[in-house]
Amino acid sequence: MKKILFTLMFLVSTIFAQETALISILKNISIPNVQNTINNADALKKDLNEQNFKKFLKSWKKVEAIYFAGEIDNDYLDSPRYIDVFHNLKEDLNEQMKRVIASKDDVNIALFKNSFKTINALEYVLFNDKEITTREKLLSIEIIKSIQSHLNDIKEVYTNYLKQKPKEEKWENAMIINTLVASTYRLKEWRIGDPSGNSSKYKDDIDNKRAEYFLSKNSFEAITSILDAHDEIMNTSNSYNFGKMAIESGAKAEVMEVQNAIKNAKIEVSKLKNDDFSNAKELYNSAKNLHNAYYLSLIEQLSVTAKILDADGD
């Protein structure tokens, strides 16, 4: 599997805050976002409609965009891929889910692969046509139960970290900026650049079918949720977060650059409709500016040394 791996050495630790940025983020952002996704999954199980799927998807994207559990506990490094396989699967999942739906096997037997129990598989089951059959309902509920199980694991990892002796603040901060950089890379290249024909892999080759949630037409909703997650980490809300830590460390101008980039990206995505990426050049550029604001400006000001060990060239 292709991967992006950034190694960062964070040389700044704060002396002002009563608690570290990570501790505050876990308490005030990460755990509430995971719980909200679990709750939205419950609502979707009870009523498998478009609006409930959208709410569930949007809440999940905020969890996925700022995912720390795999770094806190390596046993949970692959949990996001048990929930969402976008850009991490070589097989034709839609064709395989078509066979799963047509199969006469018990749903637990039919859903024998991890990829069959992801939100991408759920999207196909719910949106492959206008009708949700009895078998599709049974399959959907089993998929949602599986996703909820992984979400509960993620919540437990975060909760346990708060109960234990924390790791060094320098390690925590390096993990946060690593996550932010990787998240914005995937946002601009995979989720915007590939369908809009702006990525190096698909230069000038626009194809809306490469969008993350093409079937349900929720790709722009997903992008907005990812930007919302970055906003929560970097904004000026009451709770202590990475943006406030960075300002205390002398990076006020760079934090403002990140905040403006998030704001501009939200404006650009709001201009686009119906999951049509044919006019998404400015959205791509705004996501690129956000990535650069983290990867070049903020990292440099915070005296972080970054090294890309393995990039897939996409």
296 against 41, higher pLDDT:
41
SS3 48: coil
Spatial CA neighbour of 62 closest among 44, 46, 40, 47: 40
* Tens of pLDDT, residues 182-219: 999 999 999 999 999 999 999 999 999 999 999 999 99
In sequence order, the β-bridge partners of residue 310 are 5
The residues, any chain, with a CB within 8 Å of residue 271's CB and separated by 6 or more, are 282, 283
Residue among 205, 230, 202, 221 at smallest CA distance from 87: 202
pLDDT tens, residue by residue, 233-244: 999 778 999 999
pTM, entire model = 0.91
Q: What tens digit of pLDDT does each residue of 131-140 get?
A: 999 999 999 9
Q: What is the structure's pLDDT at 273?
A: 94
Q: What is the mean pLDDT of the chain?
A: 91
* CA–CA distance, 195 with 276 (Å, rounded to integer): 9
**Distance (Å, whole) CA 122 – CA 62:** 18
Residue positions counted in the chain: 314
Kindly state the DSSP code that residue 207 receives in the 8-state scheme.
Answer: -
